[in-house]
Structure 1
Amino acid sequence: MRDHAVSAPKTNAVRLLERLGVPFELRPYEVDPDDLTAESVARKVGLPAEQVFKTLVARGTTSGVCLAVVPGNCELDPKALARSAGDKKIDTVPLREVEALTGYVRGGVTALACKKPYPVYLDETAELFEVISISAGVRGLQVVLAPGDYIRAVGARVAPIAREKS
């Protein structure tokens, strides 16, 4: 895997992967501010939605802030995340808090080079694929990499934290 998007911006996430020597590919896409869904991004980068993972910011009653990384065709299961984190209750944080906590805007949140080293929980389905896609830290740019490399880069714990959209 190589970086094929030479003209793409170098984000902190990209710099981190380069520093770690992780092989990856960048896939830029056209941003529609009215449709930042993972399904839309998946179509634009040429991958199925279940291979494009979105990073959600959550907060537990005792465990504090964490990042939940789930497939684009699913939603977070807060009870499953709470079990994985050893907490009684976890829910996503209000959108207005996301940038202050992570340094990233909605549609560009990634666990790579996040503002603080929060615990990261990756849905177990990521390991079913040769590569997964995650945000490169800005809207309009995705990183495609092996799930094992992503897990090592962010110190993710793999757990069943997603469910089908209701």
Structure 2
Amino acid sequence: MSMSKTNAMRMLDSKKIQYTTLNYDANDGKIDGVSVAEKINKNPDMVYKTLVSISPTKSIYVFVIPVEKELDLKLAAKSAGEKKIDLLPVKDLLSLTGYIRGGCSPVGMKKQYETFIEESANDIEEIIISGGKIGIQLQLDVKDLIQTTRSKIAKVAK
């Protein structure tokens, strides 16, 4: 099966960042992060999901957290310097990021949004994120992800 490159892959390629592509079968409908970690046979501690949020002033923020954790909206808002944030409605995801639910990567979004990576990423060398399409994950160096997305490290998960 030949695979076309996703925006995330093109962005990493353009910055000459090395990554490994991990494919999984999504035909069973199980695209949650824990199921994906199982399917690619990786420790869930290194598999991160991308959540997009919106503030009352319509500012968009991206949070990258371990698949087994939940975004703490209070901590996330504090990190972003906002009084409050909410998760972006799924219906708005594609128009704002260029990605769909289950295939949302912090790399290669339509715009560069302020991005925060859960501080537990400091404990791992390599991180696995969505490749920008359901069925594709990318494994890369945490430092490369931080640099590419211009992320800040923050305590945002519970």
Same structural fold, with TM-score higher than 0.5 when normalized by the shorter chain: yes
Moved more, 51-60 or 29-38: 29-38
Alignment correspondent of 1:147: 142
3-state DSSP class of the match of 1:132? strand
3-state DSSP class of the match of 1:74? coil
- What is the Cα deviation at residue 9 of structure 1? 2.6
In structure 2, what residue type is equivalent to 1:76?
L
Counterpart check, 1:17 vs 2:43? no
In structure 1, what residue type is equivalent to 2:13?
E
Superposed, which structure 2 residues align to 1:55-134 within 5 Å? 55-62=50-57, 64-134=59-129
Aligned sequence identity (%): 36
3-state DSSP class of the match of 1:76? coil
Check whether the contact 1:63–1:85 (CA below 8 A) recurs between aligned residues.
no
- What is the Cα deviation at residue 117 of structure 1? 1.1
3-state DSSP class of the match of 2:70? strand
- Residues in 2 aligned to 1:162 and 1:88: alpha-carbon distance in whole angstroms: 17
Check whether the contact 1:38–1:54 (CA below 8 A) recurs between aligned residues.
yes
Moved more, 34-43 or 59-68: 59-68
- What is the Cα deviation at residue 63 of structure 1? 6.7
Distance change >3 Å, CA 157–CA 63, structure 1 → 2: farther
Q: Deviations over 1:48-85 (max 9, x none)?
A: 11211100110122471111111001010010011101
Alignment correspondent of 1:3: none
Superposed, which structure 2 residues align to 1:27-66 within 5 Å? 27-32=22-27, 34-62=29-57, 64-66=59-61
Structure 1 segments unaligned to the other structure (5+ residues)? 1-5
Q: Matched residue pairs, number?
A: 158
In structure 1, what residue type is equivalent to 2:110?
K
1:137 aligned residue (112, 128, 132): 132
- What is the Cα deviation at residue 102 of structure 1? 0.6
Please provide the CA RMSD for this pair: 1.4
- What is the Cα deviation at residue 23 of structure 1? 1.3
Check whether the contact 1:127–1:148 (CA below 8 A) recurs between aligned residues.
no
State the TM-score, normalized to the length of structure 1.
Answer: 0.90
